[in-house]
Amino acid sequence: MSIITNTAEFLNHSTTETGDIVGTREDLSNAIYDISPTETPFISNIGRTKATNVRHEWQTDVLAAAASNAQIQGNDYTSLDAVVATKRKSNVTQISAKTIIIAGTTEALLKAGRKSELAYQVAKIGKELKRDVEYNLTGVRTGELVAVSDTGSKTRTLENWMSSNASHGTSGATATTATTTVTDGTQRNLTEDLVRGQIQAIWSAGGDPDCMLVGPVNKQNISSQFAGIATLYRDANSGPATIVGASDMYIHDYGELKVVPSRFSRDRTLSILQKDMWAVAYLRPFKIEKLAKTGDAEKRLLLVEYALEARNEAASGKVADLTTSLI
């Protein structure tokens, strides 16, 4: 038996390094951090309705132009006003889906940050699918596409629908039919006059817009370039000092618009919307399906089938072909 005879020798024998210990637990936080954006400002703020067919249809109408309308006394009214029929509008539904497969072993393991891998992944693809719908409706400029043998249907999108009130750059053009694509033109700086021009056109047509959907860059350009808003100031008299340098509400000659930034809409297009004139028509709302079990794994399908309903696109408008850099 060896005998320790001095302090240095004792320390040399008694010190145990961390790596020598067996059974230490891994220091893994019991949380999962994800900053991926999940806001869907368009589909979360417009209407919701039901579709009953893959070709979803609705009707629009318009009043006759206002006139002086002076009539003579005792008129027999043998000449009657013509009845103007309503206009039938439609859009095709689109299927969007996400799938997952989780092995039985994976589900049984003790995991950090979630108890069930299956439940966690279902919740995750639910957020992803909702983002896909938002992106498709606001970030794509294509018209409708009817399904063919190996290609699914595509619903007509927001930017493609807006044609009555549209400002484009040189060579740019709005869609001329339901199946054509918006033509991008020469990009130009966003100005307040461009926005005012579209607001006036919408108001003259009878619209009452209440929302301005805009990408991140041109949200900043609104705050920095529009006169009379987003004036930087410091208020030290009421609580903590505050510096204000942004605009979330635009007051104009005919009312006011909430300025809503969108991560998924095209930054080159600013949309001025009357929200109640738009709706998502669901043939099959968001739903989770359990797929057939063919092995030691659980399969799930998350699916939605929908179409964009433009109840009257003349109540909205767009300023297209904007620069996507700060002015």
For residue 10, is pLDDT > 50?
no
* Order of all β-strands in the sheet with 297-310: 47-50, 278-290, 297-310, 94-103
Q: Name the pLDDT band for 42 (thresholds 50, 70, 90).
A: very high
> Of 304, 303, 309, which is closest to residue 281 (Cα–Cα)?
309
Residue 4 confidence class, pLDDT cut points 50, 70, 90:
low
Residue-level pLDDT at 27? 64
Question: Is 70 exceeded by the pLDDT of residue 7?
Answer: no
Q: Is the pLDDT of residue 286 over 70?
A: yes
Q: How confident is the model at residue 112 (pLDDT cuts 50, 70, 90)?
A: confident
Phi, psi of 114 (to 5 degrees): -160, 150
For residue 160, give the nearest of 48, 279, 271, 275 by alpha carbon: 271
Amino acid 198: pLDDT: 97
Total-model pTM: 0.86
Give tens-digit pLDDT for 207-238: 999 999 999 999 999 988 887 654 555 555 66
CA–CA gap between residue 149 and residue 312 (Å, rounded): 32
59 DSSP β-pair partners: 88
